[in-house]
Amino acid sequence: MEGNEMSVAFENRVFNRRSGLGGGRMGCTLITGFLGGGKTTLLKHLLDHRDDLRLAVLVNEFADSDVDSLLLDSARLNRAFNLSTVSLTHGCACCEVSGPFRESLQRIVDSKHNFDCLLIETSGLARPDKFVAELKEVGIHLDLVVAVVDAESLDKIIKIDIVRKQLEHVDIVLLNKYAHQLLLFHHLELIISCRCDLATLSQISNAEDILEELTAGAKVVRSQFCKVPVDLIIDCSKLQALNIEKNDESMPGVLSHESLPKMAFQRYIYDNSPLQFSSSGHTSNQPSVGGDSFPHGESFSSATFEAEVPLSLVVFQSKVLKSMRCASSLIRAKGIIWFAENRESRFVFQWSGLKRVEAISGQPWESSPKSCIVLIGTDKSELQTIISQLSASANPHNEVSSEYGNLREHAKSFASMVASDDRFKEPSLNKTPLVIFGLKGSPLRGVKESQLSGALMHVVNGKGNIFLTATTFGEDYNLQILLDEKSTVIDAWSEIRSATSIVVSKVRSYGTCSLTCSTCCSLKYK
């Protein structure tokens, strides 16, 4: 597929139809914000908590890939809610896809589904103003522009021109990756998770100062994982409550489609050995990184890596992550990974904000497994290096490394160290050299295993010396570590232990458990 990927999902629920929220008129919310702030997280939250709202969803991706629909799991949504997906290609939505974008809007307007609200997620590098003009053309009334902002990194990214532009005309800003301390009084569990989250109080107040200056009176709402009331984002009646009037004319439609340079994006498809990369219809033996200079004052490039053979986790953590950490211009990476060491699981890989890295698997493959990773940055050569390392990690013979004998020995001794620490659950080893382990939760204290182990993963991966992946199945949340030849077991264990102390001390500082609970006591939370 060429060009930009935009998907339109139509919810086709024929039961319980109501008239649209705005007295028969379909509402429309535009979700904007820089790369990695949490727009897709907000969309997921809205879809999961929409009750009987009939939503049309339109997602725009900067890169030449449908990775966002993979991350949103639109295949599952389509099946569960009878959604249909339409792909729109070619270019960045704010510049080049006005034709397909308008066609999609028209389909929504003409559809018999009587949608309550259209949600549009712009790409993290899009200016919202062009969308506004297109909406106006097809007669869709824009109710709200919501920006999702990474509270931890706002002071760094605010220097980027597009970030400032995105915030100029918003009604609501979700200052994300933080949860307010007052939640303590509602539910202990939330205060604990907030204390394990990313932004500090000083980063929050700094971000609020920046937003006050830039957004001219937008309502700023602190959030964690974008967990805000759905009607804040969707219910048009909220507009009155917030005293916000959206006038389409207030958004400057300054971008002229014709005057903008054409944006070309390339994708790389790993096609077995010898390496072949195809990019926008042309094939080359040399990987090269796509993306022209960005027409909004910054120069961003994107590259997509795809492989239909599994990637070696050993190589991924020793080479790919290393090259990502060395790439100072890498801003965002995301995608789905098929690891040779854990073939049944589909890992969602995320690199965002201040180099936060996670790889979490919760679902088996629903179609043929493959990896698809999108990279966005400002230096093409750095993206190229990462692409080369990704290619090197592809395991065309689909075989598990012959070195696994040694790695298994490492795994066994690491597992015995974990087993000796009573803050951890009993570790296990599977047939690959992965050690599966995790922190104990405390149900009486309202501390879930997933919160503690998730926080541990962020602390450890944030430091960058070792790499933890995670698998989730319902309430179960397990971490996984693969100790390759370079990482010594003792160093890895000492790093995990000190990160555990950080995570546990946060719980101890803020928890107020008055129960005599053996789990808490054994976790030393008191």
Under the binding rule (CB under 6 A), the answer on residue 410 touching ligand GTP is no
Cα dist. 447→120, 337, 414, 441 in Å?
35, 30, 25, 5
Stretch that binds ligand GTP, among 19-27, 35-43, 432-440, 487-495 (CB under 6 A): 35-43
Under the binding rule (CB under 6 A), the answer on residue 197 touching ligand GTP is yes
Closer CB to ligand GTP, residue 171 or residue 197? 197
The number of beta carbons lying within 10 Å of the beta carbon of residue 506 is: 18
Distance between CA atoms of residues 414 and 411, nearest Å:
5
The pair of structure tokens assigned to 164 is 């400032």
Under the binding rule (CB under 6 A), the answer on residue 69 touching ligand GTP is no
CB of 62 to ligand GTP, least distance (A): 7
Residue 165-194 contact track with ligand GTP, rule CB under 6 A, x = bound: -----------xx-----------------
The pair of structure tokens assigned to 205 is 């107040």
Under the binding rule (CB under 6 A), the answer on residue 377 touching ligand GTP is no
Under the binding rule (CB under 6 A), the answer on residue 335 touching ligand GTP is no
Distance between CA atoms of residues 21 and 33, nearest Å:
25
Under the binding rule (CB under 6 A), the answer on residue 195 touching ligand GTP is no
Closer CB to ligand GTP, residue 207 or residue 435? 207
Q: Which of 6, 35, 157, 175 binds ligand GTP (CB under 6 A)?
A: 35
Under the binding rule (CB under 6 A), the answer on residue 225 touching ligand GTP is yes
The pair of structure tokens assigned to 315 is 């190589």
Instruction: Give every CB contact of residue 3 below 8 A, 6+ residues apart in sequence.
Output: 64, 89, 90, 91, 96, 97, 265, 280
Under a CB-based contact definition with an 8 Å cutoff, are residues 199 and 178 in contact? yes
Q: Which of 33, 91, 433, 511 binds ligand GTP (CB under 6 A)?
A: 33
For residue 153, give the amino acid letter.
S
Distance between CA atoms of residues 63 and 67, nearest Å:
9
CB of 114 to ligand GTP, least distance (A): 28
Closer CB to ligand GTP, residue 151 or residue 234? 151
CB of 502 to ligand GTP, least distance (A): 15
Residue 121-160 contact track with ligand GTP, rule CB under 6 A, x = bound: ---x-----------------------x------------
Q: Which of 37, 295, 310, 369 binds ligand GTP (CB under 6 A)?
A: 37
Distance between CA atoms of residues 517 and 209, nearest Å:
42
Stretch that binds ligand GTP, among 2-10, 224-232, 279-287, 389-397 (CB under 6 A): 224-232
b/e string for 199-213 if b means 16 or more Cβ within 10 A? beeebbebbbebbee
End-to-end CA distance of the chain: 56
Under a CB-based contact definition with an 8 Å cutoff, are residues 290 and 280 in contact? yes
The pair of structure tokens assigned to 11 is 């919810």
Closer CB to ligand GTP, residue 233 or residue 418? 233
Q: Which of 4, 7, 29, 40 binds ligand GTP (CB under 6 A)?
A: 40
Under a CB-based contact definition with an 8 Å cutoff, are residues 439 and 461 in contact? no
Residues of this chain that interact with ligand GTP (CB under 6 A) are 33, 35-41, 68, 124, 148, 176-177, 197-198, 224-226, 332, 334, 350, 352, 358
